[in-house]
Amino acid sequence: MALTENRAVLDWIDEMAAMTQPDAIVWIDGSEAQLEALRSQACATGELEKLNQEKLPGCYLHRTAVNDVARVEDRTFICCEKQEDAGPTNNWMAPAEMYARLKPLYTGAMKGRTMYVIPYSMGVVGSPFAKYGIELTDSIYVVLNMAIMTRVGQSVLDALGDSPDYVKGLHAKAELDPERRYIVHFPQDNTIMSVNSGYGGNVLLGKKCFALRIASCLGRDEGWMAEHMLILGIQNPAGEVRYLAAAFPSACGKTNLAMLIPPAHYQEKGWKVWCVGDDIAWLRVGEDGRLWAMNPEYGFFGVAPGTNAKSNPNALATTRRGTIFTNVVHNLDDDTVWWEGLDKNPPEHAVDWKGNPWNGTVSAEKGAHPNSRFTAPAKNCPCISPEFESPRGVPISAIVFGGRRARTAPLVYQSRDWEHGVFVGSIMASETTAAATGAVGVVRRDPMAMLPFCGYHMADYWQHWLDMGKVLGDKAPKIFNVNWFRTDDEGRFLWPGFGDNLRVLEWIMKRCFHEADAVETPIGYEPKAEDIDLEGSGVDRATLEGLLKLDTAMWLDEVNAIRAFYDKFGAKLPETLSQELSALEARLH
């Protein structure tokens, strides 16, 4: 039974059902009773396994197909009318050609299966930020994950009313054939199509597909920004909470920063840190002319390996109820889960992520997949912000970019102004670690951490940032760059990271409110060493001075590398960024 009379919704569902031919159609109303019935059904078929309900109440385990464990960037397409609008960093195909390619893959793909209709909201339902979507899927796993990651059910359809303004999403598992796997975005049609995958990053269409790739296009057209950023509130001893948004490429500690626990001596003084979001920020200009941010998601889709009581106790606590674990180890001794980096006690009687018997004390193979995941409700997080459900979002004072550089970038620097800040974001880079590939120290550019997620030409995206700066004027947030990953000659990290990063964030916030000084350098403004609180950090003044030091020759090499990177974008590269690069080179000389 349909939960809406919206013709734009019903006609589209009829069309998709005629193509995919499901045996039944079930509307997701968001009720706990319906979700519980689906959990029981998934356990009966083996799609989910119920875990120890005393130790992990409401928690379940799922395994994907072994050929379906991560996002597939080479099978991800942006299908706009003109190839030049997709740009050199996206895969493109003409929309008509892609629809023709997808149709046979979807035809009859849901025979013998049920189509679930998931109405969902990105953002607080009814808020100025909210955008609505409907995902059709033949996977209960997708339904249950979307119910954690987004706000689902009748309230979304009520808010949508008769409007045709929603994002359409069609997902079919089909045969899970990696050769015919496609994750496709049609920005002009507000449509996302995913086929032959069951992995969360490819099939939870509210996540990167809607909240970044489609939303970045909506933001460009409507004058706001969809960014791959955490949102953090920092409460100082005076009780003021100041907010920042921060973008990092993968493996740079983004989730750890989002759920940061202050060092002991900061806690004693009354500092607190509040998590508004760990992954995605939608930013728009508020009535007061400032930039306001909202987390469009309702849960965390986090990487399990490496998450532990030391690295991220808040993330670990978040997973302790109402969570779906994917591709981790099933510990048969107490019917819980385990992964590499959780603790030093791998279970002896267990099942690995592939479903095979596994003894962690003798097996050479990893028990959990390196990209194994937890999908956990955000409200479980011990440091979730009181503003998490605020319909107006939070005001942003600072935007922080970061990467993993062993030598080049200092611990922290501030951009000279908004235009220079956009330049700093556009040149963001990380060096590969041994974990990622065989080659160590290869520099990978990932502007604003958006390279895989921008739904249009990256140079046009930079222009949109520059245009937003003109709208914000003197109310624009200050822009900073951080690097927690400077190393010594032996490759040891010089900065402790984790909770100690608050020492740097304190200076950043003071700069935003004109409470701290800075030293001008060729790349931007750096702190005076005495303005970073080192008490209890284990870092001495000489080490900090080393962390802030610039190697001019290295930066001149960097200028050449940036120029080569910019060349990819041709005539569309904003002139402002070319000028910023030339100005940097002149200052270095």
Residues with catalytic roles: 252
The separation between CA 517 and the C-alpha centre of its own chain, rounded to angstroms, equals 33
Cα angle value 486/487/491 (rounded, 5°) = 150
Residue burial 328-366, b: 16+ Cβ < 10 Å; e: rest:
bbbbeeebbbbbbebeeebbeebbbbeeeebebeeeeeb
Task: Determine the residue type at 43.
Answer: C
Cα–Cα distances in Å, from 317 out to 53, 310, 321, 329, 531? 15, 12, 8, 18, 33
What is the sign, positive or negative, of the torsion defined by CA atoms of 79, 150, 220, 230? negative
Check if the beta carbon of residue 376 is closer than 8 Å to that of residue 455: no
Tokens 């180890």: give the residue.
329
Q: Which helix (H) or strand (E) holds 243?
A: strand 241-247
Q: Which of 154, 132, 120, 135 is nearest to 4 (CA)?
A: 154
Distance CA 167, CA 218 (A): 11
Other residues' Cβ atoms within 10 Å of the Cβ of residue 567: 9
- Which residues sit in the known binding site for substrate? 71, 199-201, 250, 371-373
SS3 content of the chain, % helix, strand, coil (to 5): 35, 25, 45
Facing residues of 61 across strands?
49, 325
Of the CA atoms within 13 Å of residue 234, those in its CB half-sphere come to 27
- Judging by beta carbons within 10 Å of its beta carbon (0-12, 13-18, 19+), is residue 320 exposed, middle or buried? middle
Length of the chain: 589
Q: The tokens of 156 are what?
A: 């979304």
Whether 329 contacts 337, CB under 8 Å: yes
* Two tokens, residue 195: 């086929």
Dist. CA 589–CA 584, nearest whole Å:
9
DSSP assignments along 267-326, one per residue: HHHT-EEEEEESS-EEEEE-TTSSEEEE---SEEEEE-TT--TTT-HHHHHHTTSS-EEE
Q: What are phi and psi of 553, to 5 degrees?
A: -60, -40
Positions at the binding site: 71, 199-201, 208, 228, 250-256, 279, 371-373, 404, 498-501
Binding residues for GTP: 251-256, 373, 404, 498-501
Q: Is 14 exposed, middle or buried (0-12, 13-18, 19+ CB in 10 A)?
A: exposed
